[in-house]
Structure 1
């Protein structure tokens, strides 16, 4: 029997406008607390981002048809190249990271993060559209984090010191019909079951239904279908650590079996590269058992990114 559970819809406009109505903000924070505690996913409305901007960004998926093979090699993840839990995924993606100048202290430590993003030459508007959307996402990410701080009984600006140099990542992903994979490329998921390694994701996707699936606390899988004008927010592992397991980092997956080419644009709102993430005192007052050891976010990120391209099940090679 299909689950009757539906992802909550939360209007965050008290945080995205010039509202000084603390009661309205606390009501939003209460809803966010419940959503993060119970399921770790929710629809976000009231974001104050024009639909036109969202639509233009989704159209950037044309990269896989229009850019050259040379451009494809720059941050391009080919079909079957990415893996989840050591199994091939059937999607392709173009990744962009926060630029780190070669003179930045992190780059000088010889960490593999220095440099600028490499931009496709086509379509010509790619970089401008991308950067406009990225700026909106950084602003929205800060606003949502302020709401999350209030939801934990903290001051709105509590997380500022961990996020004032946000190490963001933005991905443009394309999903062909899963049934198009055959032979050695045969896979079971477009994107395998996983929790996010990040702080949280804010993403948009096209009007494809029945692809993104979220596991409920009862173990059922429900569809997180697109909602016109809304973003989907996915709570990930770093927020789970900060809240000492109070907020869920929930298993989710993509199973796209349809004639359309599904497009999604996730924005990974992240802590500073050198941020120390560990259970907060406010959360330890609820459960004094510390369920996680401290994590330096950047070190965690590098380990996870390198692991995304390791396949151990040689039946898939």
Structure 2
């Protein structure tokens, strides 16, 4: 299968969202219509005009590189536990949930997961709410926490500004999903991909998969590697435009849309002769949100394909399936 560029005039469009964010008349609806067309096709698009200070993703990339350069024993002291927060070493994730490939080999990457930053006396921590925990920070790197949380905060704000536009794309009033995202599940994942100059059957930096949240924001990496699978089975690379964000639809948006916006499989192959870094930001519903197909996507001709699903239950099942450190734990 070939790997072709996806745009700007191809299957993965480049969209200037500045007019919509500025509230120009008609701009939000026009952007929603463009998003809908892309979501019905590749599920990937590239956002320009987003207003994010370029120093923020740059600082996050630099923080990721500095962290992964630490000695292995320092990183392993921050290894993930029952919650996926902290360091995930190479070989700890096998994408068993892939629907387009039989994946047996672990991903060739190491990761660091960051969630909403909380104090030990946070009410949700004290209440031991599911999937709520403390971030694991390297004590010798205070700048790491500052840089990653500045980026996290900016990306969550952008995601919330885009939520009503994606809701319009679904054909619903802008505020329809507000309640489901009042306390959204947000995760920043720092990733370092090992080089794969020689292709190896069944081995990937990240095996073919769909994202399991709502939408994902990916700052442009310095090196290529991300590939998107079209409905026809061709692999495309999104337009690599510095300063933009690659955005893709994910599984929960697919459920809300009753599969009208079915998420698209994608993969990472680091054919470069050096380490490749990525900083995806995952935006999902509240843990207690119950996801149902929205009324605009259900009809006599297209009845609801999904039963109501509590997001927390969905996350628990995925974690037990795909991560080695959860295999011995009960679902």
TM-score of the two chains, using structure 1 as the length reference: 0.88
> Equivalent residue for 1:195?
210
8 Å CA contact retained: 2:6, 2:13:
no
Secondary structure in 2 matching 1:171 = strand
Report the alpha carbon displacement of residue 70 of structure 1 after superposing the two structures with TM.
3.8
Report the alpha carbon displacement of residue 95 of structure 1 after superposing the two structures with TM.
0.5
Distance of 1:188 and 1:47 partners within structure 2 = 35
Secondary structure in 1 matching 2:69 = helix
Between the two proteins, the alignment pairs up a number of residues equal to 304
8 Å CA contact retained: 2:107, 2:207:
yes
> Equivalent residue for 1:239?
253
1:1-317 map, 5 Å: 5-6=6-7, 7-17=12-22, 19=23, 21-61=24-64, 62-66=66-70, 69-74=73-78, 75-85=86-96, 86-99=104-117, 104=123, 108=127, 111=130, 113-179=131-197, 188-209=203-224, 211-285=225-299, 287-310=301-324
**For the structure 1 residues 29 and 178, does the alpha-carbon distance in structure 2 shift closer, same or farther, using more than 3 Å as the test?**
same
Q: Could you say what the CA RMSD is over the residues aligned between the two structures, in angstroms?
A: 2.5
Secondary structure in 2 matching 1:95 = strand
**For the structure 1 residues 44 and 282, does the alpha-carbon distance in structure 2 shift closer, same or farther, using more than 3 Å as the test?**
same
Q: What do residues 161-210 of structure 1 show as CA deviations (whole Å, max 9, x unaligned)?
A: 0001011111000111025899xxx961111011111111101142212x
Secondary structure in 2 matching 1:162 = helix
Distance of 1:206 and 1:81 partners within structure 2 = 23
Distance of 1:107 and 1:305 partners within structure 2 = 23
Report the alpha carbon displacement of residue 159 of structure 1 after superposing the two structures with TM.
1.2
| Greater shift in the superposed pair: 66-75 or 294-303 | 66-75
Report the alpha carbon displacement of residue 224 of structure 1 after superposing the two structures with TM.
2.4
8 Å CA contact retained: 1:205, 1:263:
no
Report the alpha carbon displacement of residue 306 of structure 1 after superposing the two structures with TM.
2.2
Q: What do residues 22-63 of structure 1 show as CA deviations (whole Å, max 9, x unaligned)?
A: 311111111111111111111011110111212111111220
Report the alpha carbon displacement of residue 301 of structure 1 after superposing the two structures with TM.
0.8
Considering fraction of residues, name the structure with more helix.
1
TM-score of the two chains, using structure 2 as the length reference: 0.84
**For the structure 1 residues 107 and 254, does the alpha-carbon distance in structure 2 shift closer, same or farther, using more than 3 Å as the test?**
farther
Distance of 1:205 and 1:132 partners within structure 2 = 17
Distance of 2:169 and 2:315 partners within structure 1 = 26
| Greater shift in the superposed pair: 117-126 or 159-168 | 117-126
Report the alpha carbon displacement of residue 150 of structure 1 after superposing the two structures with TM.
1.4
Distance of 2:167 and 2:300 partners within structure 1 = 16
Where does the alignment leave 5 or more consecutive residues of structure 1 unmatched?
312-317
